[in-house]
Structure 1
């Protein structure tokens, strides 16, 4: 009897193992290597607080150069395990972008046909994702890498240590997230919560709204809160977009590292510690001209209230951009931007990746021309 039990159990295990191997062999999986290379010439006046002009072979142009690997495996019933890894680098020097970790995007998750998607790792936060899907400027890029004021309002587009749940019902998509601070003995320190809702039918209307709340890494009672709303309308080859975003931070907030985009020193150097509140109003018009050309005009207006009077300020920014497709994967572009900064250090936070501190009363002109290729 004892031997019979062992014998039967062994056959049961062997049969189960055979079934599992058969299922694995029949599972549908796919992995895709993708990327983009982009560089151009950039001219900027009154750089570094107004102390001279700068001409450079830019680290990126319309987009930041990157490569990545994404994949999925069907594990049955339409459910799939998904993952993505992506590195961002400077084409002009061949070095990895030091502002980001080697894998700036790095997550794994499960996607189901009925219950939505759960992903875990470093990824887009709900606020940045909602803006990109609905009313971001230059939506076909999205945003112009060398000049993208609205990105700074998202507390950094990527968040580390994040668990994010996404679901869609017809044309309505929602996302909720929680980024773990990971500080021993202090639950919530450096954490972030987020939520968004997007209405994105085939066209013409698209609407979105989102909210983020980050806790300080040291003082958990201090918060940095952001919210946004906006939409776009497309008629023929013309798209009009408008958006509104708000940042508010408590006096003691100095950063939500390691989840936030900046270290404590960078947070101070870029002037993020100088304001208690700011509002950004922005909008743009994109026109498709023929099959291969897009032209857009954008405007941003920022009003800032400082923690002290010296931090008060405002900024008005304009941009013109033309992009021409040379082929399905390659395009060339020319861009011009102009900014007026008044008071505070608002300019350093609103120039996108440039991060060039502005002196009070500074005006800046930027000109870019470049080429990019996707693979």
Structure 2
């Protein structure tokens, strides 16, 4: 397919640009990425971590952190003003394929200006919900494809089957196309505002999105709040917010989060999801960390009288080989409430991963 040939050519071109731009004293260009692969065994889950009968073994990409490749740049324009850009694509390390079959830079593609008044960016970028989640998620946004805070609370995999906002997909809205975002830091507080244009000829509101966020970050405490509204192409509405707090208890970091969204799935039907997360990080030594988190997801739909959801517990044990490289072991347990998955599927599942992650 065309996108499969575009990727290596684009990577080669961008690498040459990175080398060329290092000669400029006023411009910087950084090549960066994460490579994460693990051997994963599951019982009650498929190789793609969906509920399934039986067990599976596979090489998985991105269990600890999503495998990716990117470029970011900064051009000093003088007077404290700089131009910035970021291009980032997800990679399935087990196959070498792009994470997205339709977008070369599915994770980020924006340009902007930054100064002491803040940062203004235009393009494809994360929502204020995603930005609010990062500092307070109990897993530190690990295992993004399986993390209920990322998938449900921040809408990366909302499972509603409708495109809300210009996300380019009917499966999630963690990042939006055609967006303008402002972020400003004032002492310990950061404020964010974002609007994504639906670009629909018949309506200025269809497929659009707007959001506001605020966070507080001090030495040992972080607190965040994000709120966003999304429209479908037919002007169905989704409203969502994410809130959280994290702090240090001795050497242990403890985090608590809450997310809620309500979506119109038809003119007469709604789906509401709430997500509660609790957990933290315990350093066992200078090179070993234990990360433990528990999530509870509750779902209510007007099309059924039965409320359902699931509980998921995830633990990571990480051993730092260096500042850039870690070995990790991961264990997870999921219990679905009746009705969340098909009756023919098991009501519980277990996963075990052993992997290596390297940052460059």
Equivalent positions of 1:227-242 (< 5 A) are 227-242=241-256
Give the C-alpha shift of residue 27 in structure 1. 7.1
Moved over 6 A (4+): none
Structure 1 counterpart of 2:293, from 291, 298, 301: 298
The answer for the alignment partner of 1:80 in structure 2 is 82
TM-aligned CA deviation for residue 26 of structure 1: 8.7
Deviations 1:202-255 (A, max 9, x none): x2211111101001112x2x211111211001134200000100010124279x
Residue 61 of structure 2 aligns to a residue whose secondary structure is coil
Alpha-carbon distance in 2 for matches of 1:99, 1:344: 31
- Per the alignment, residue 22 of structure 1 pairs with none
Match of 1:149?
A: 148
Distance 2:54 2:345 in 1: 15
The aligned counterpart of 2:277 is 282
Residues 32 and 99 of structure 1, relative CA distance in 2, 3 Å threshold: same
Q: Quote the offset at 1:302 in angstroms.
A: 1.3
Among candidates 18, 27, 30, match of residue 28 of structure 2: 30
Deviation at 1:197, TM superposition (A): 0.4
Shift of 1:290: 1.7
Other structure's SS at 1:58 match: strand
* Higher share in helix: 1
Q: CA deviation at 1:361?
A: 6.1
- Give the alignment's Cα RMSD to 1 decimal: 2.2
Quote the residue 2:302 is aligned against: 307
TM-score under structure 1 normalisation? Answer: 0.79
**Residue 40 (structure 1) aligns with:** 38
CA–CA separation in structure 1 for the residues paired with 2:43 and 2:270: 25
**Cα offset, 1:117, TM superposition:** 0.8
In the other structure, the counterpart of 1:343 is 338
TM superposition shift of 1:146: 4.8
Report if aligned partners of 2:90, 2:100 keep a CA contact under 8 Å in 1.
Answer: no
Asked if the contact 1:275/1:312 (under 8 Å) is kept, the reply is no
Cα offset, 1:310, TM superposition: 6.3
CA change 1:359–1:98 in 2 (3 A) is: farther
Specify which of 328, 340, 344 is matched with residue 333 of structure 1.
328
Q: Please give the alpha-carbon distance, in whole angstroms, between the structure 2 residues aligned to 1:169 and 1:359.
A: 53
Within 5 Å, which residues of 2 pair with 1:39-188? Answer: 39-47=37-45, 49-98=51-100, 101-104=103-106, 105-113=108-116, 115-133=117-135, 135-139=136-140, 142-152=141-151, 153-156=153-156, 157-188=174-205
Q: SS in structure 2 opposite 1:53?
A: strand
Q: Pick the structure with more strand per residue.
A: 2
> d(CA) in 2 for partners of 1:49 and 1:94?
25
SS at match of 1:128: helix
Cα distance change, pair 64–194 in 1 and its aligned pair in 2 (3 A): same
Aligned residue among 245, 254, 258 for 1:244? 258
CA offset at residue 194 of structure 1?
0.9
2:211 paired residue among 186, 194, 208? 194
What runs of 5+ residues in structure 2 fail to find an aligned partner?
1-22, 157-173
Give the aligned partner of residue 4 of structure 1: none
Larger Cα-atom Rg: 1
Equivalence for 2:225: 209
**Per-residue deviation, 1:312:** 2.7
Q: Is the 8 A contact 1:27 1:76 kept in 2?
A: no
1:343–1:360 Cα contact (<8 Å) kept: no
Given the alignment of the two structures, is residue 226 of structure 1 paired with residue 228 of structure 2, yes or no?
no
In the TM superposition, residue 99 of structure 1 has moved relative to its aligned partner by 6.3
**CA contact under 8 A between 1:50 and 1:362: conserved in structure 2?**
no
Gaps of 5+ in 1: 1-24, 255-273, 348-356
